[in-house]
Structure 1
Amino acid sequence: MSGTYDFDDEPDAPGSGELEREAETFVPTLFYGSADEFVRKQLRYKYRRQITRPGRGNFRWRAAWWKSEEAISRIEALWRAWEKARQDPAAMSDWWLTHCDRHMAVLLSSDGPYAGSEDESKPGDPLPYTAPPAGYFAPDNQTDALI
């Protein structure tokens, strides 16, 4: 076979495309399986504010947070940004400042999606929480033992 060379007989060398294709198909495993698991096991314990009824204080939250389409969308974005930031610990500060503080300011505001909520909490308590109906969100990725 003089003058011809079959490249398919050679193993792929670095930079030949196979490694790049593998990198493109790699999807990191999510730590939490859903926005609900993120709220239930992470956010409500890390972002503690005294929640009050209208006319009694500054912060509103609804234990059934998932009953607001705006809240679901914002918390889904927070969760996905957190999942990305956890891959790079240096990015966690940016997550707090750029994502969490901004979304939570809207969610907890007296004119936000929970403006009329009657739910309350004491200073230092986790944000109030009511479980959604079974099957409303994907199953958990973490066991309760990790909380």
Structure 2
Amino acid sequence: MYARRVGPGNASFRWAADWWNYPEALARIDALWRAWEHLRLDAATGSSVWWIEHADHHMPILMSTEGPFAKSEDSNKAGEPLPYTAPPEGLFPDMREN
């Protein structure tokens, strides 16, 4: 869903396909996920609040040329999804209540 052209060199944004290998990125993405899981239950303004107060804050930091992915060489083309490598099995255990 988050479509930005990323890459090394003069690209405006950076991303790493193995984002889960970067402690700062992992912490920020976990915070985004937790905020989403809470706010998605608010049918009135939850998703807007999530974008404004969470995604719009963390994503520019994550994707900054000075951010955690500053040295990443991963790239994509305009309109393509961000580069992605599946995390190792078991890294993200299912925490939902059964």
The answer, yes or no, to whether TM exceeds 0.5 is yes
Aligned to 1:68: 22
Q: Distance in 2 between matches of 1:120 and 1:56?
A: 12
Report deviation, 1:56.
2.3
Q: Which structure ranks higher in relative contact order (CA pairs < 8 Å, sequence separation ≥ 6)? A: 2
Q: Does residue 1:83 correspond to 2:83, yes or no?
A: no
Rg larger for: 1
Aligned to 1:49: 4
Q: 2:83 aligns with which of 120, 124, 128?
A: 128
Letter in 1 for 2:22: S
The count of aligned residue pairs is 95
CA RMSD across the alignment = 1.4
Aligned to 1:109: 64
* Runs of 4+ that moved beyond 4 A: none
Q: Distance in 2 between matches of 1:94 and 1:139?
A: 25
Equivalent pairs: percent with the same residue?
A: 52
- TM-score, normalization: structure 1? 0.61
Report deviation, 1:109.
0.2
- TM-score, normalization: structure 2? 0.90
- Structure whose residues are more often helix by fraction: 1
Q: Distance in 2 between matches of 1:59 and 1:140?
A: 32
